[in-house]
Structure 1
């Protein structure tokens, strides 16, 4: 009996080796086997598949993919004051891969954990920043690291202000979160991207969206686009 396959793992899951076996959307891909390598909290699988190349020949391939579920992130902004709310917290993977102290500046974010993307991001925004927002604007959804991680992240934006502040934020201490909330001038965040102070991909994407198409786009940018 194997944990996560025949018997429940620590999260009560079974059948984790069946994920991805029945895919039929791409006729050039034939799934042959799915092996669960680890399922401590998230799931690491090795998938064996046949792939038909552009010249017609088939090859047998293997890929490991890490399944941590889908996530959501949100940019909180004050268009009148031209500020944004970001967070700062310790990220071990960044620390072990060259970041000076692992303290990354980010937009509020979290996993869906069974909720809809909108429900999840409103929850995460409240927990991390202390602001309870209304219905957020949906921006886009992207695969952040499609070569190895299955996660798709849903991007949102919403205004904040004194009326949305309902708590101190900081995350959930019982889950090991120790999050600082940063209110920054939007112009400063763009400079921080340039000098490397902001190095988180989802945060950079939302800040650049805010400058190009979002609440901080200039009339010179918005005008020509509107006339096309």
Structure 2
């Protein structure tokens, strides 16, 4: 794709708050050749996100969180969703730094080694936001309680689950938020490989955390 494949004719900021809503009038290259007629698209912008699934290989537990989500307000099961730690990437931060910071703020966990899982568009039909997804090693023995930043209106409950139980929730359709679903389905395939690697490292052998671990 080159600059000539997309032409932004007009850009308008319709709303600026926690998110920014833009309306774009544009033309783009067609598969059959030539350019499309002008079309209008609206996009919601906020910035990229880092998300991390927290795993304790010693106890074979995952640390997840539960919190209120306005988008699920009409869900028959209620708007409190089982999710993973995540946060917006601020200027000057790397995705891994955000994953570590948010793990402490939202779950009270200090992350050791991390494994990159994937980077993907969150919902490209309506936003340019990309999610940087990780697996992070933690000690889950003291994980629990209520966390979050009061000035951001966060009310986050920490949930500890046996690894196989959490995988089962994803496979049975009980996890209906994108980030935990992607993370858990990846983890289901890599569970034993990751556990063995991290347990081996814990025993003092010099094995890299990502050796033998597949990423999409």
Give the TM-score category using the shorter length: 0.7 to 0.9
Q: After alignment, is 119-128 or 208-217 more displaced?
A: 208-217
Please give the alpha-carbon distance, in whole angstroms, between the structure 2 residues aligned to 1:95 and 1:216. 38
Q: Could you tell me which of 116, 132, 152 is aligned with 2:110?
A: 132
Q: Distance in 1 between matches of 2:103 and 2:145?
A: 11
Q: Are 2:136 and 1:148 equivalent residues in the alignment?
A: no
CA distance in 2, matches of 1:117, 1:199: 23
Matched pairs, number: 197
Give the match's secondary structure for 2:184.
Answer: helix
Residue 205 of structure 1 and its aligned partner are, at CA, apart by 0.8
Alpha-carbon spacing, 1:182–1:193, altered in 2? closer, same or farther (3 Å): same
Q: 2:80 & 2:193 partners in 1: Cα distance?
A: 26
Whether the aligned pair in 2 keeps the contact of 1:126 and 1:132 (CA below 8 Å) is yes
Decide whether the 8 Å contact of 2:140 with 2:160 is kept in 1.
no
One of 15, 24, 45 as aligned partner of 1:47 = 24
Query: Cα offset for 1:92?
Result: 0.7
Q: Residue 65 of structure 1 is aligned with which of 6, 26, 43? A: 43
Distance 1:47 1:214, change over 3 A: farther
1:89 maps onto 2:44 in alignment: no
Q: CA RMSD of the aligned region, Å?
A: 2.7
TM-score w.r.t. structure 1 length? 0.77
For CA contacts below 8 A with separation 6 or more, give which structure has more relative contact order: 2
Alpha-carbon separation, structure 1, partners of 2:192 and 2:14: 44
State the alpha-carbon separation in 1 of the partners of residues 168 and 99 from structure 2. 26
Shift of 1:166: 9.0
Deviations, residues 7-55 of structure 1 (Å, cap 9, x unaligned): xxxxxxxxxxxxxxxxx83532111111101002221101111122122
Between the aligned partners of 1:217 and 1:208, the Cα distance in structure 2 is: 14
Residue 198 of structure 1 corresponds to which residue in structure 2?
175
Please list every run of 5 or more consecutive structure 2 residues that lacks an aligned counterpart in the other structure: 197-212
Aligned-pair CA distance for 1:218: 9.4
Once the 2 structures are TM-superposed, how far is the Cα of residue 169 of structure 1 from its aligned partner? 5.8
| Aligned position for 1:15 | none
The counterpart of 1:188, out of the listed 165, 188, 192, is 165
Greater Cα shift, 48-57 or 29-38: 48-57
SS in structure 1 of the partner of residue 38 of structure 2: strand
Question: TM-score normalised to the size of structure 2?
Answer: 0.81
